[in-house]
Structure 1
Amino acid sequence: MHTLSTVSPSTSRAQPYLNVIENFLSTPERLFFSSSNLDEARSMVSRVMKPHRIDQTNSSERLDAKMHHLALGEISLSRLRYGAAVKIECDPLDNCFLVQMPIAGNAAVTVRDRHMELNSDVASVLSPNDAVRMRWSQDTDQLIMRVSSNLLERTLVGHLGHPLDEPLRLESAFGWRNSTAWNGLLSYLIDCATQCPDLAQHRLVLPQIEQLTTSILLATHRHNYSETAPARRSTILPRHVRRVQDFIQAHAHEPMTAEQLAQIAGVSLRSLYTGFKDFLGVSPMQYLRDLRMEHAHTELISGEAGNVSGVALRWGFAHMGRFSTDYKQRYGESPSQTLRRI
C-alpha cells in the first residue's frame, strides 16, 4: 500500500475569500440538515452523495452533524461536519466525482491502493469506481464538490475530440490550496450565488457554470488522460464555422456548450476554436456571449424591460458586475443608464 505524505496544515495562510465561502455555506437558507442522530445524518448525506455506512469512533462524544448545500445543475457544493469522530465506508460512487476539501481538522482516507492523511492543504478526490474508507476527527469540517461523471467525461471528450478508451480517473490527492485557478473558481461560484440566490433556476447560466467547473478541474488536477493529445484533424473548412454560427444565431436563447457546438461542427473542440479564431476572430463561446449581449442590449432599449438583472440572467449573464463592465465597454454606458434613458 502506498502512503502519501502531506505538508503541514496552513490554516493561518488561508486566503481571505475562503472565509467568505465558509460563511456563505453556513447561512440558514443553505442549511440542508442539522441533527444529533447518526441514522438521520447518514440518510440526509446519502441524498446528496451516496448511500454509505457510518459509525462514531468515540461514543462519549456528542454528534452535532450539519450540512449546508448549494446545488448548481450537475455540480453541487456542500459544507459538512459531524462534530464527533466518525468512520465512514462507501461503495463505488458510480455516477459522480467528489472533491473533499478540509477547512478544519484532519481525515484519513484509503482509496484504491493509497492511504492519505488529509489536512487543510490537501483534498481527496474520489472517482466513480472508487470504494473508500475514511476516518474524520471530531473537528473535521469539509467543503465537498460533487460533479456528475457524465458531465465531466462529456467535457473531456470535447477537449480530446474523440471518445474515451477507458473511464476517466482523477488522481486521489489534490493540493487545492495552491491552485490559483481552482480557488478562483470557488470564489466565482460563491460570488454568483450570492448575487443571484435563485441562480439554479436560470437554465442559460447553469451550463456555463458546469462547463467552467469541469474545464478547470480537468486542467488543474491530474487524471489518466492528462498526457493524451487532442485529435489532430485537417484545417477546419468555412462551412463548419458557418454551420455553428447559424446554430448559435438560431438558438442563442437556449443552453449550449462548446462540446455541443464541436459535435454540430463535426470536429474536435480545438479545431472548432481554431476555425472561429481564423475566420471570425473570436472563440465560439465569445461569439455566443457577444450575440447574447446584443440581445440584452436590444431588450434594454425596447422599453419593455423591468430591471437590468432580469435581462442579464435571461441572456445567461450570472455575474452582474462583469455584465455591467462588458456592457459599458461595448455600448459606452451602463445597462442601468440605458434602461433609465428609455
Structure 2
Amino acid sequence: MARTDDAGYCWAEASRRFMPHVLRPQTGEPFGWAFHSVGIGDTVLAYHEFRSMVEVVASEPMDAFYGMVLLRGTMEVSTEHGTTYLAEQGSACVVSPTEKFIARFTPGTRQVFVKIPVAVVEQAFGRLTGEAGGGRIIFDLATRADAPWPAALKLAVQTIDGIDSGLPVPPPMGGELERLCTSSLLLAQPHSASGLLARPSPGRAARAATMVAKAVQASPEQDYDFADMARLHGVSLRTLQDGFRNRYGRSPSAFLRDARLDMAHTLLAGDKRVSVTDAALSCGFTHLGRFARDYRVRYGFSPSETREGARGIETVREND
C-alpha cells in the first residue's frame, strides 16, 4: 500500500502501472491518492482511492480489459462503447480495449479493479470454446446489479489479503486467481462473442469424441454410459454425438459396436479354441443373433466362418 498527496507522482505511477493517462485533479481541493497492486499471472489486481475529485483521461488507446468494482463513493466511466454511472457499493463495469476512456471520481471514491491483458482473455476464451477470440470480444460496459463476476474479483482480493504482507503471490495461486477472474468475466458478463459460449464448438466436440473413442477402443467389452462420459469431458450428450458423427461418421453406440466386433474378429481369427459364443460374450455382446448379423454386415462372412478359417490355418501349420 502506498499513499501520496503529490498529483505528479500519482500520474506517473498510475500511468506506469495501469494505463497511460492524463490526471486532472479538482482545483482548490487537497489531493490524495492511495493504491496497492499485485500481479497474478500476467494480470494486475489493484485497489485505489482518491481523496479529492479527479478526472482520468486515457492518453493512449487501452490495450487491456479492466473489470472495476466500486467500494465507496461514485464514479462515471465513458468509453467509445458507452457511459455508465456507478453509485452503489458493489456496482461494477467492464472496460474493453478502447481508444476513448474517461473516468470521473467523486471525493473519497474507492475501487478495486483487475487489468487483464488481451492475450489472457483470448486464451481463456479458447479454453472455454475451443476457438480463438480473434479480437472479437467487446464486453458490455454496464454490469447488472446481480452479476456474479464481482464476487470472483473480491474473492481474489481476500485470498491475496490472506498472504503475509510484502510477500509475492505464489505463481500457482496467481495463475488460478487469474483464471478465476478471467473465466468469470467471460461467463458472466455479456460480450460480443457470448453466443459462442452458449453453443458447442467443433473443437470441444472433437476433443471429447477423441477421448471417449480412445477409452472405448482400449476396453470395448466394458459397458459405457455415454451421457456420463459426456459430462466427464465437460460437454452435453448431444455435443458428444455431434463430435462422433463429424469425426468418425457414426454415433457413439455404433462406434462401440464396431470396436466390439473388431475385438471379436481378432479373437476368432487368432485362436481356434475360442467359440463364437465365448468371443461374443467376452466382447460385450449379450444377444448372439444380433452379434452374428452385425458381424456378417461388417466383414461379409459369419463368425463361424472366421473361426473355421482359423482352424484351417492352424491345421496347415501343424502339418508343416
Shorter-chain TM-score range: 0.5 to 0.7
Corresponding letter in the other structure for 1:231? S
Structure 1 match to 2:80: 112
Structure 2 match to 1:216: 184
Structure 1 match to 2:55: 87
Structure 2 match to 1:158: 127
- Which range is displaced more, 222-231 or 120-129? 120-129
Structure 2 match to 1:237: 210
Pairs within 5 Å for 1:176-325: 178-180=146-148, 182-183=150-151, 185-197=152-164, 200-228=168-196, 229-232=199-202, 233-234=205-206, 236-238=209-211, 273-274=234-235
- Of 32, 45, 65 in structure 2, the residue corresponding to residue 97 of structure 1 is 65
- Of 112, 124, 132 in structure 2, the residue corresponding to residue 143 of structure 1 is 112
Alignment length (residue pairs): 216
The question of whether the paired residues in 1 share the 8 Å contact of 2:40 and 2:171 is answered with no
The question of whether the paired residues in 1 share the 8 Å contact of 2:51 and 2:108 is answered with yes
Q: How many percent of aligned residue pairs carry the same amino acid?
A: 16
Structure 1 match to 2:9: 40
The question of whether the paired residues in 2 share the 8 Å contact of 1:49 and 1:146 is answered with yes
Give the greater-gyration-radius structure (CA). Answer: 2
The question of whether the paired residues in 1 share the 8 Å contact of 2:20 and 2:58 is answered with yes
Secondary structure at 2:195's aligned position in 1? coil
CA spacing shift, 1:173–1:238, aligned 2, 3 Å: closer
Q: Distance in 1 between matches of 2:213 and 2:6?
A: 58
The higher relative CO (CA closer than 8 Å, separation ≥ 6) is in 1
CA spacing shift, 1:140–1:203, aligned 2, 3 Å: closer
Secondary structure at 1:205's aligned position in 2? helix
The question of whether the paired residues in 2 share the 8 Å contact of 1:106 and 1:119 is answered with yes
The question of whether the paired residues in 2 share the 8 Å contact of 1:125 and 1:171 is answered with yes
Corresponding letter in the other structure for 1:37? D
Structure 2 length as normaliser, TM-score? 0.59
Q: Distance in 2 between matches of 1:56 and 1:84?
A: 7
Secondary structure at 2:209's aligned position in 1? coil
Q: Distance in 2 between matches of 1:240 and 1:110?
A: 51
Q: Distance in 2 between matches of 1:93 and 1:240?
A: 47
The question of whether the paired residues in 2 share the 8 Å contact of 1:241 and 1:272 is answered with no
Does 2:98 align with 1:129? yes
Corresponding letter in the other structure for 2:160? A
Q: Distance in 2 between matches of 1:134 and 1:195?
A: 30
- Which range is displaced more, 59-68 or 227-236? 227-236
CA spacing shift, 1:130–1:179, aligned 2, 3 Å: same
Does 2:34 align with 1:66? yes
Secondary structure at 2:193's aligned position in 1? coil
The question of whether the paired residues in 2 share the 8 Å contact of 1:93 and 1:127 is answered with no
Q: Which runs of 5+ in 2 are unaligned?
A: 216-230, 241-320
Q: Distance in 1 between matches of 2:175 and 2:213?
A: 23
Corresponding letter in the other structure for 2:122? E
The question of whether the paired residues in 1 share the 8 Å contact of 2:126 and 2:132 is answered with yes
CA spacing shift, 1:63–1:115, aligned 2, 3 Å: same
CA spacing shift, 1:43–1:207, aligned 2, 3 Å: same
CA spacing shift, 1:70–1:101, aligned 2, 3 Å: same
CA spacing shift, 1:72–1:200, aligned 2, 3 Å: farther
The question of whether the paired residues in 2 share the 8 Å contact of 1:70 and 1:77 is answered with yes
- Per the TM alignment, residue 92 of structure 1 is displaced from its structure 2 partner at its CA by 5.1
Pairs within 5 Å for 1:15-26: none
Q: Distance in 1 between matches of 2:4 and 2:132?
A: 44
Corresponding letter in the other structure for 2:133? L
- Per the TM alignment, residue 221 of structure 1 is displaced from its structure 2 partner at its CA by 0.6
- Per the TM alignment, residue 167 of structure 1 is displaced from its structure 2 partner at its CA by 3.1
RMSD of aligned Cα (Å): 2.9
